Structure 1
Amino acid sequence: MLKKSLALLSITTSMLLAQDLANLAKSYGLKPIPKEKSKLLKLIDNPKNPLTDEKIELGKMLYFDPRLSKSGLISCNTCHNLATGGDDNIPVATGHMWRHNPHHLNSPTVYNAVFNKRQFWDGRSPDLEDQAMGPIQAAPEMDMPKERAVAVVKSIPEYREMFKKAFPNEKITIKTIGKAIGAFERTLVTPSRFDDFLNGDKNALTPKEKEGLKTFIKVGCVACHNGINLGGEMVPFPFNKYKYANVGDFRGDKQGRVKVATLRNVLETAPYFYNGTTYDIKEAIQIMAQTTLGKTLTQKQIDAIATFFKALEGKKPKIEYPMLPNSTNKTPKPILDK
């Protein structure tokens, strides 16, 4: 009887401690992805571009369509590969004619990007719809003049019909192309065991992951990596203290701020930092602690935080690769050599 009472006491104590940890995490600004579909829809929807099935399906096809690039080889999925963590897993974004990003910027994940307050590392885009237009036209990426991108879409009867249904009162422009792609990207949300924990499941995290979460909060990582996305805000970055600041010339926006990278699925999105300078998550943790917090963490603290990151691996939406409509004689031909 005594053993049973002690066992019950231990379980009850463990549950109370888990409850306290979840509340502590929330008190520091960590928020879960809602379980209720209606609440999630409110978070991911854009009043200026309300989600519809027609927009999402059209956006998915355009996301995977390499004909929106000058070469006919590069799609949005090339740099933001949904099979590899939503990015390309290489240090520097690489596009048309094997050109690297001139500032040595790394491709961030598209998964959960809807929760970022701003888009791009310098935060120059307010939302996914605006962001989607950038890489299509950027010379180091897809290098596709907007007029040519529109011509591709207009040349394909199936796309014209899909645009009529998705945007019945709008013409096919680079803006509506961006709106369609942005609508699809808004659905790329990956709820994790961490969300289950904050939403009330006290056993969703292992004891070691809970210890890692406590360490993550205690040492101060949560100061920048907070909110639903454990990141996504624009914050000042001390480039003069950053070990790899000499890789590329990026120095943030006009105020020296950089978008905080999301930690969701972080173990799938190496290499790390805006300039993709390390594949080692434990090195990344130590560097960030030294650079932004002025702290040198112990190996135990680093290991604990890295263990917590396992709980941030989310369930990916099932994406069926679309069969794209055929080109026509009017479809602009690929340009490979300039």
Structure 2
Amino acid sequence: MRRFFLISLVSTTVGAGALLAGLDSASFPAQATAAGTEAARLISDAKAAGLAPLPSLPPVSDPSAQARVTLGRRLFYEARVSQDGNVSCSHCHQADLAASDGLPKSIGVFGKTNPRNAPSIFNAALQFKQHWRGDRESLEDQAEKSLLGPASFGNPDYSVPMATLKGVPGYAEAFADAFPGDKEPLTSKNWGAAIGAFERRLLTPGRFDAFLAGDEKALSATEQAGLRKFVDLGCAACHNGPGLGGTSFQKFGVVEDYWKETSSASPDKGRADVTKNDADLYVFKVPALRNVAKTGPYFHDGSVPDLPRAVRVMAKVQLGKDLTERESADIVAFLASLTGAAPAEFSPLEPFPSAPSGK
């Protein structure tokens, strides 16, 4: 799965005296040029390996399209549709944790534990499937089906949450504005469509994007060293595209047993539970690395609490490599450059008030 941690770094230490001996002031511009040339080469190599900046968001000019985004934003924070009235999408996707929840496995309705770690929904629109097992085809599909998740919203069928929304003054009009061509706009399908429209706006560009755009100073020397190893060792074979992952499936534990390495309680069959095909045993979606420094604990079961350890685990179970602290530190530094600020829109609107009791 997390095959991106392919690291083998050779470090050379030279004394400061040796660096400076015999150099006059005319030598320093040449050094700066060499450093700039290496950064430019790194940018070129990163792009050639398939890494890409986040796309620009097009403006939303159509009134009904904007109404869908606004409705989706409102629904994202709506907890009244859950069976205990406490769980909303934002329950597991929090702004200060890069739209994750900081738990090994998410806690949903009535305190039930979800089977896997909650992935960030920032930049999730760039991924070809949703969920660790790829059992949701799109953001819209995921949002709709979460209403029936036993440990998510816990509803027995779609009629229950839709009846709840119909009983809240303001939602009927909001759905009608967002889906003006629908005879019956307030439906579970449109719940998913609205939340999907909102989540597709949640991109988080950062320093890495500036670097790919040509700002050679956007990444530090250590971060650039980490990126160089990421590219040269083939990490981008799986972690590519603007999300640095999320576009393919991969077996977890190619060389060694992941479950043994992390002392995980029980193996997860992964995609095999979805396809019923033994070839998919222990296969998971390759996770996107955007904001990975803020989305621990790591892996589908949240079994590893910190990123340096996650780097070393992946190198060992996917490649059979034992990394040093320094080797993992450089790649971790690069991964931190993938952090972007939470979009301003990722915040709740004033909720529609509930209908007065008895009405």
TM score, norm. by length of structure 1: 0.88
- Please tell me whether the aligned partners of residues 50 and 241 of structure 2 are also in contact (alpha carbons under 8 angstroms): yes
More relative contact order in 1 or in 2 (CA 8 Å, sep 6+)?
A: 2
Between the aligned residues of both structures, percent identity stands at 34
How far, CA to CA, are the matches of 1:80 and 1:305 in structure 2?
26
- What is the match of residue 14 of structure 1? 35
- What is the match of residue 32 of structure 1? 53
After superposition, the Cα gap between the structure-2 partners of 1:238 and 1:267, relative to the gap in structure 1 and judged at 3 Å, is closer
1:224-245 deviation digits (Å, cap 9, x = unpaired): 2211111102323134621237
Selected match of 1:323 from 320, 329, 350: 350
How far, CA to CA, are the matches of 2:103 and 2:252 in structure 1?
24
- What is the match of residue 105 of structure 2? 92
2:270 aligned with 1:252: yes
How far, CA to CA, are the matches of 1:127 and 1:13 in structure 2?
45
2:258 aligned with 1:232: no
Secondary structure at the counterpart of residue 236 of structure 1: strand
Structure exhibiting the larger radius of gyration computed from Cα positions: 2
Gaps of 5+ in 1: 333-338
- Please tell me whether the aligned partners of residues 206 and 340 of structure 2 are also in contact (alpha carbons under 8 angstroms): yes
How far, CA to CA, are the matches of 1:53 and 1:4 in structure 2?
58
How far, CA to CA, are the matches of 2:290 and 2:99 in structure 1?
11
2:167 aligned with 1:142: no
Query: Which amino acid is 2:304 matched to?
Result: T
Query: Which amino acid is 1:84 matched to?
Result: L
How far, CA to CA, are the matches of 2:64 and 2:47 in structure 1?
29
Secondary structure at the counterpart of residue 157 of structure 1: coil
How far, CA to CA, are the matches of 1:331 and 1:125 in structure 2?
38
How far, CA to CA, are the matches of 1:73 and 1:37 in structure 2?
32
- Please tell me whether the aligned partners of residues 64 and 177 of structure 2 are also in contact (alpha carbons under 8 angstroms): no
How far, CA to CA, are the matches of 1:307 and 1:17 in structure 2?
18
- What is the match of residue 63 of structure 1? 76
2:291 aligned with 1:291: no
Query: Which amino acid is 2:66 matched to?
Result: D
1:267-293 deviation digits (Å, cap 9, x = unpaired): 111100000001121110011111122
Selected match of 2:128 from 117, 120, 126: 117
- What is the match of residue 241 of structure 1? 257
Deviation at 1:10?
Answer: 2.1
How far, CA to CA, are the matches of 2:306 and 2:330 in structure 1?
15
- Please tell me whether the aligned partners of residues 152 and 331 of structure 1 are also in contact (alpha carbons under 8 angstroms): no
Secondary structure at the counterpart of residue 39 of structure 2: helix
How far, CA to CA, are the matches of 2:107 and 2:64 in structure 1?
31
- Residue correspondence of structure 1 range 218-229 to structure 2 within 5 A: 218-229=232-243
- Please tell me whether the aligned partners of residues 64 and 179 of structure 2 are also in contact (alpha carbons under 8 angstroms): no
How far, CA to CA, are the matches of 2:229 and 2:326 in structure 1?
10
Deviates more, 1:145-154 or 1:58-67: 145-154
How far, CA to CA, are the matches of 1:63 and 1:277 in structure 2?
27
- What is the match of residue 265 of structure 1? 291
2:208 aligned with 1:194: yes
How far, CA to CA, are the matches of 1:114 and 1:168 in structure 2?
24
Q: How many residues were matched structurally?
A: 320
TM score, norm. by length of structure 2: 0.83
How far, CA to CA, are the matches of 1:54 and 1:6 in structure 2?
60
How far, CA to CA, are the matches of 1:120 and 1:74 in structure 2?
19
2:41 aligned with 1:23: no
Secondary structure at the counterpart of residue 28 of structure 2: helix
Gaps of 5+ in 2: 1-22, 273-279
How far, CA to CA, are the matches of 2:269 and 2:145 in structure 1?
19
2:187 aligned with 1:169: no
2:67 aligned with 1:54: yes
